[in-house]
Structure 1
């Protein structure tokens, strides 16, 4: 493993990046489809003298090409699978037609090696989203199969030079600087907190520099693409305000409600920054702050660039009085409460757990059951009561919908909580979330610590 000290020493000279969108392009076919290929790529993640890593990437880039569209626009993507195993693409946070959601085994058959699949949908909401592999995600996302999906407002709130996308990831590297592929699927990760890396990148680069202009307003779009790491940051340390969570704008920019802010796997956060001096993003979960992205502020400009207020997306408010309530009891994992667990219709015993890798359960069921967790009519309101009866934090994600957290044990919840598509729930904590089931189809509810999902923390519900 690469030590923190050696990591800091070898990355002291950060790579310079310009302000604006990542410089990744994606080709259009004659029929209007964006061509995206998932395939193996040898790429150096560490330094030039390090060994190249065996990555799986979209169009050979890490992260994959930024797909940028305008709200209400049609997205057409042709996925070609050049991997050695089946794959699919999930469009995280987008409220789209169920057949396009990209969940292998639930909404589509996985795309086999050498085959293609065409995704075709309309984006209903502006905001910061992302796309990633959704077949054996614990393996495919860890190797690099993800990219940003940015949906601009009808009139973009910021011009391109003041709108930056930052895709944050951690990689588990070996002493030679290459990705530790052999450790993928390790049951220690699956039964504990998930797969953590020892090397952070932003837009595929270690500790990059971004150049900003003093006194100008910038939108920084943060996307956590890590398998399991929760990033702990303090935006107030450089005067940032929060614009949006999970793509959904707040009524107005606001100071962080608490510090440090936690950015769980799959979550996004848009920040408003008007820099007066150089600053850095620091990861604060360790013993000492670790700066992982630097912002160099140039001289003050005479003309300030205006930006437009963000417009709320049309997400329906749940009717809490008449909502139907369903309870999920999360069990299992190391040091957790074990219950009778059913997997593929069979009660697991003894060696079944390590053999199948099914170490967690929702209501005593590991992974997708044949029948839905619940079935509900379109337009009805839902309250999910989530009980974390385990020793680990989980980042819970609902497909096809956005929700509000209406209650959290040990915390005061005010009215008007932000819309989310992924929320964190701590060990031995309970929480309640509410949403309107207005999108017909079969929808996944799972932990976005991807090893936890693979090891049983998946269920689904149906909107009819």
Structure 2
């Protein structure tokens, strides 16, 4: 074990839960033609999560690997996926961040029946928006993602690229036991559900305990950064790289420098960065700095300099996506959303399946969070119903002691304000991080018909009541 890796693990263990052959992501997988079916199977597999060449942990993965295969498709085409379930549990595939047809959104109990062990389901994923997305289950998500069931979906923009190549960096944390296996005994622990969620004790990048990404002097890279953890908010420092942000959750932004070279990224969020590497050999370390800083991975610049047939474009801005952005606020449907519950919270009671329950009864039922006083499930009434094409204005209040990552299915929203102050740089996202006692206002055009989830992407919080759904008619 290297010194850097030992240091990383020691510090991460100190801040995580008690201690109780993943392949590298392919750099340039072939596009899936719109006329062909892509076979995708959820099944058990193995991964070396503790150290390179170390004990193999039992995982669940798409095609048996973690992360699952990188799926790429040109913008405007349809990815056709024939999904097979070879796990011991029912499951689904949710295409996170994709403005998809409702019947393919992959939410068990709301948009489809779960895919039973041994069964199949065919998904049609129309890629209207270019960008960085991912896919994961939406049945027992808190368990199935913790076992490794997720993958990356990239929708390619048309035209010439303003970078040499892109590099996927999928960050995840794992709770491993003394045998270096996934700590399955702690899955579903109510302490996790009532606090910050399931936090791990090992951090990986692309399921590698210490990823070393090779690069050539003078290369320009597009870093596609994803947080695939169940609940951990990451603070990643890209020291010396001077990253420029070009996209949030798949949606292009006006390029700008990453403040203090540090990225705060919540579960389910993505951030696309452009970095220009120097002409000489050098090693750039990417550190996790939430507590005691440690190195999570590194970019090793070495070898012959990058060669290009033509100079890269100076303009690194991405082309706009066709997300409806004309917000008619005067006629907007107002929907207040208040989050309550959790440890040290003020929630004393909430509605559960139409009955008012005291906190003790809610705890026994595994429900300790609420939206608008309802410990939610798919069986409850819709949070709201809105006519197609109308703007929804949603002030969200985090009346808890914990951060939450609120995710809206089927749509992208604009973050209008935080704690009463207007957000100056336009932000369109599908997941927004809210700090304790924070107030955020979002708005979106409800243009995608169907029933759509809204929930906290700290997955234990979702399972314990912090979820609802709305309908676009």
TM-score, scaled relative to structure 1: 0.91
Of residues 132, 137, 155, the one that matches 1:133 is 137
Aligned pair 1:155/2:159, yes or no?
yes
Whether the 8 Å contact between 2:241 and 2:284 is mirrored in structure 1 is yes
Q: Is the 8 A contact 2:410 2:452 kept in 1?
A: yes
Residue in 1 aligned with 2:167? 164
Shift in Å, 1:388: 0.6
1:278 maps onto 2:283 in alignment? yes
Instruction: State which drifts further: 333-342 or 124-133.
Output: 333-342
Distance 2:162 2:84 in 1: 33
In structure 2, which of residues 232, 235, 238 is the aligned counterpart of residue 232 of structure 1? 235
When the two chains are superposed, the root-mean-square deviation of aligned CA atoms in Å is: 2.7
Taking a change above 3 Å as real, the CA distance of residues 9 and 376 of structure 1, as seen in their structure-2 partners, is closer
Q: Deviation of residue 312 (structure 1)?
A: 0.9
1:109 aligns with 2:104: no
Q: Which residue of 2 aligns with 1:376?
A: 386
**Do 1:360 and 1:366's aligned partners in 2 also have CA atoms closer than 8 Å?**
yes
C-alpha separation in 1, matches of 2:161 and 2:250: 13
TM alignment of 1:193-342, pairs within 5 A: 193-235=196-238, 237-251=240-254, 253-257=255-259, 260-276=262-278, 277-287=282-292, 289-298=293-302, 299-301=304-306, 303=308, 306-307=312-313, 309-317=317-325, 318-342=327-351
Deviations 1:358-384 (A, max 9, x none): 000001111225311000001100111
Tell me the CA shift for residue 39 of structure 1.
Answer: 1.4
Three-state SS of the structure 1 residue aligned to 2:142 is helix
Take 1:250 and 1:286, find their aligned partners in 2: how far apart are those partners? 29
Specify whether residues 398 and 220 from structure 1 end up closer, same or farther in structure 2 by C-alpha distance, changes over 3 A only: same
SS in 1 for 2:358: coil
The alignment covers a number of residue pairs equal to 452
1:51 CA drift (Å): 4.1
For residues 140 and 381 of structure 1, the distance between their equivalents in structure 2, rounded to whole angstroms, comes to: 34
Correspondence for 1:191: 194
1:79 to 77, 83, 94: 83
Task: Indicate how the Cα distance of structure 1 residues 260 and 301 shifts in structure 2: closer, same or farther if over 3 A, else same.
Answer: closer
Deviation at 1:215, TM superposition (A): 2.1
Residues 127-175 of structure 1: per-residue CA shift (max 9 Å, x gap): 000000110100001101100000001225257x611111111111112
Aligned residue number for residue 57 of structure 2: 53
Partners of 1:34 and 1:16 lie apart in 2 by 21
Is 2:404 aligned against 1:394? yes
Structure 1 residues 132, 412: CA separation in 2 closer, same or farther (over 3 Å shift)?
Answer: same
More deviation, 58-67/302-311: 302-311
Contact 2:45 2:64 in 1 (8 A): yes
User: Could you tell me how far apart the structure 2 residues matched to 1:239 and 1:177 are?
Assistant: 36
What SS is found at the alignment partner of 1:313?
coil
Shift of 1:337: 1.3
Residue 70 of structure 2 contacts residue 151 of structure 2 at CA under 8 Å; is this kept in 1? yes
Q: Choose the corresponding residue for 1:358, options 367, 370, 382.
A: 367
What 5-or-longer segments of structure 1 have no aligned partner? none
Question: 1:21: how far off?
Answer: 3.9
Give the Cα–Cα distance (whole angstroms) in 2 for the partners of residues 372 and 179 of structure 1: 36
In 1: Cα distance, 2:30 partner to 2:62 partner? 11
Change (3 A) 1:358 1:70: same
* CA distance in structure 1 between the aligned counterparts of 2:9 and 2:410, rounded to whole angstroms: 44
Contact 2:85 2:115 in 1 (8 A): yes
Separation of aligned partners in 1, 2:130 and 2:31: 20
The answer (yes or no) to whether the contact 1:235–1:256 under 8 Å persists in 2 is no
* Secondary structure, aligned partner of 1:135: coil
- TM superposition shift of 1:261: 2.4
Q: Tell me, yes or no, if the aligned pair for 2:165 and 2:220 is still in contact at 8 Å.
A: yes
Structure 2 length normalisation: TM-score?
A: 0.89
Shifted more, 302-311 versus 265-274: the winner is 302-311
1:450 Cα deviation from its structure 2 partner:
0.4
Is the deviation greater in 173-182 or in 441-450?
A: 173-182
Kindly provide the CA deviation profile for residues 331-358 of structure 1, in whole angstroms up to 9, marking residues without a partner as x.
Answer: 0000011142112222223542232210
- The structural deviation recorded for 1:417 is 1.6
Shift of the 326–136 alpha-carbon distance from structure 1 to 2, 3 Å rule, reads same
Structure 1's 69 and 372: CA in aligned 2 closer, same or farther, altered over 3 A? same
What is the match of residue 409 of structure 1?
419
